[in-house]
């Protein structure tokens, strides 16, 4: 992003000229006031995130179900049974592999095209650059559900513009009544198109901004030294992009692994849920009932995403120099 002067934190840099006891009193007051200001946020996060996380972990080791909830009885402790069941006697492993595969494909497309478009934007005239950014902004701003509904219509079996165009291009009627969503593979193609279409603008704009940080003199010097094209990009430009691209990559991985809206909406347009579920929709379709099982799935999801986001949290903390 922008190269900035990291804003100095107020408190630590202020030279303290007070005596030791006074200082500790000030410190204690700062701590009290600080926590007082934090408390509303802490309370809502503890109640709405911390507590359910704890409950979820506990329930994942029990056979808690709607029956217990209705009758008010305590569930039995079943150890790792839920986890064993989830991994051996359910579709979960398939869903997990599918989610990971989709995540890799989507992330690769989004980052590749995003960076490509950012580089393109740096080489365009002003008018063209504005045109491209307006297009990207519109794609980005669409609510995901509305976008999916529209794309679903574009790929509609009977009246979709895609089938019409393919018929026109091929000069046949092969695509009349061709259903894109019924076959899981073409379902994933449509899904990937939607997610990539909406994901590219973020990467493109971020990378474009980062490209603006490459000093002109460095580029000039490198071109005088005879570096051209890809070589110049790899050796001169890329180092400036690295930190931004790392964050962008981690975010894309996380976001693409937890997609829900697009998959769910496409499924309700004609996808076969059992063959197209990803982690989020699989969990959702488990339905209310076997809280033990759904909790185990939730725990696996959280652990997976926490492992993946650890890199992000660390990078952020390092860069922010808190």
Partner 1 sequence: MSTQVSSGMQLGTAGVEEVLDGGTPARPRRRSAQSRRPSPRRVAVRTLLNIAALIVFLCSVFPVYWMVNMALTPSNQIISRTPSFFPFEATFRNFVTAWSREAAPGQTDFPHALISTMTVTGGVLVVTLLFAFLASVAVARFHFGGRRGFIVSVLIVQMIPGEAMMFTIYGMIDDWRLMNTLLGLGIVYTATVIPFTIWTLRGFVAGVPADLEEAAMIDGCTKTQAFWRVTFPLLAPGLVSTGIFAFIQAWNEFTMALLLMKGYNLTLMPWLNSFQSATEATNWGAVMAGSTLIAIPVVIFFLFVQGRMTGGLVSGAVKG
The interface with partner 1 within residues 176-215 (CB under 8 A) comprises: 176, 197, 200-202, 205-206, 208-215
Of 305, 307, 299, residue with least CA distance to 56: 299
User: Least distance to partner 1 from the beta carbon of 271, Å?
Assistant: 12
- The pair of three-digit structure tokens given for residue 222, joined into one six-digit string: 């490198």
With binding defined as CB under 8 A, does residue 79 bind partner 1?
Answer: no
84 binds partner 1 (CB under 8 A): no
CB 105, CB 255: distance < 8 Å: no
Touching partner 1, residues 59-78 (CB under 8 A): 59, 69
What tokens appear for 60 in the block? 């994942």
Considering the complex, what minimum distance in angstroms separates the CB of residue 185 from partner 1? 22
Q: Shortest approach of partner 1 to residue 113 CB, angstroms?
A: 9
Q: Is 22 in the site for partner 1 (CB under 8 A)?
A: no
From 201, 221, 209, select the one nearest 4 (Cα to Cα).
Answer: 209
Nearer to partner 1, 35 or 80 (CB): 35
- DSSP 8-state secondary structure symbol assigned to residue 123: T
Measured in residues, the chain has a length of 322
Any contact of residue 277 with partner 1 (CB under 8 A)?
A: no
- Measure the CA–CA gap between 11 and 286, rounded to whole angstroms: 50
The smaller minimum CB distance to partner 1, of residues 91 and 213, is found at 213
Position 133 contacts partner 1 (CB under 8 A): yes
Quick one: tokens of 141? 């701003």
Q: Shortest CA distance to 148 belongs to which of 109, 105, 182, 193?
A: 193
246-276 in b/e form (b: 16+ CB < 10 A) is ebbbbbbbbbbbebebbbbbbbebebeeebb
In whole angstroms, how close is the CB of 239 to partner 1 at the nearest point?
9
Angle at 197 between CA 96 and CA 124, to 5 degrees: 140
Question: Are the C-beta atoms of 308 and 250 separated by less than 8 Å?
Answer: yes
Do 180 and 155 form a contact (C-beta atoms < 8 A)? yes
Give, as ranges, the residues between 228 and 267 that touch partner 1 (CB under 8 A): 240-241, 243-244, 247-248, 251, 254-255, 258, 260-261, 264-265
Nearest residue (CB) to partner 1, 51 versus 112: 51
Give Cβ neighbours of residue 218 (< 8 Å, ≥ 6 apart). Answer: 236
Phi-psi region of 287 (alpha: psi -120 to 50; beta: other; left: phi over 0): left
Question: Which one of residues 94, 128, 172, 238 is an interface residue with partner 1 (CB under 8 A)?
Answer: 128
Selected range binding partner 1 among 32-40, 76-84, 97-105, 179-187, rule: CB under 8 A: 32-40
Least distance (Å) between residue 128 CB and partner 1: 5
CB of 247 to partner 1, least distance (A): 5
CB of 70 to partner 1, least distance (A): 11
Q: Which stretch binds partner 1 (CB under 8 A): 7-15, 17-25, 101-109, 179-187?
A: 7-15
Q: Does 172 bind partner 1 (CB under 8 A)?
A: no
Q: Is 276 in the site for partner 1 (CB under 8 A)?
A: no
| Residue 20 binding partner 1, by CB under 8 A | no
């Amino acid at each position: 992003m922008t190269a900035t002067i990291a804003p100095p934190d107020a408190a630590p840099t202020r030279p303290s000229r007070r005596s030791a006891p006074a200082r500790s009193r000030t410190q204690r007051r700062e701590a009290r006031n600080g926590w007082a200001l934090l408390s509303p946020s802490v309370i809502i996060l503890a109640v709405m995130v911390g507590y359910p996380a704890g409950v979820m972990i506990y329930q994942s080791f029990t056979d808690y179900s709607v029956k217990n909830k209705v009758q008010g009885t305590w569930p039995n402790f079943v150890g790792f049974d839920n986890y064993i069941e989830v991994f051996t006697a359910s579709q979960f492993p398939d869903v997990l592999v599918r989610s990971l595969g989709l995540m890799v494909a989507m992330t690769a497309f989004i980052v590749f095209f995003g960076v490509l478009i950012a580089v393109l934007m740096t080489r365009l005239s002003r008018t063209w650059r504005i045109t491209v950014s307006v297009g990207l902004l519109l794609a980005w701003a669409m609510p995901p559900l509305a976008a999916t509904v529209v794309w679903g219509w574009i790929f509609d079996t009977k009246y979709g513009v895609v089938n019409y165009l393919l018929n026109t291009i091929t000069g046949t009627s092969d695509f009349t009544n061709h259903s894109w969503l019924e076959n899981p593979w073409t379902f994933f193609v449509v899904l990937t198109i939607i997610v990539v279409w909406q994901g590219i603008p973020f990467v493109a704009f971020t990378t474009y901004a980062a490209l603006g940080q490459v000093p002109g003199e460095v580029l000039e010097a490198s071109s005088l030294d005879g570096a051209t094209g890809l070589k110049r990009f790899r050796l001169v430009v890329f180092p400036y992009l690295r930190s931004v691209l790392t964050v962008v990559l981690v975010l894309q991985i996380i976001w693409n692994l937890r997609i829900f809206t697009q998959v769910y909406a496409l499924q309700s347009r004609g996808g076969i849920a059992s063959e197209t579920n990803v982690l989020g929709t699989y969990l959702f379709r488990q339905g209310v009932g076997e809280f033990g099982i759904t909790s185990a799935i939730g725990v696996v999801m959280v652990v997976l995403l926490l492992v993946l986001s650890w890199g992000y949290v660390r990078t952020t903390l390092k860069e922010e120099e808190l």
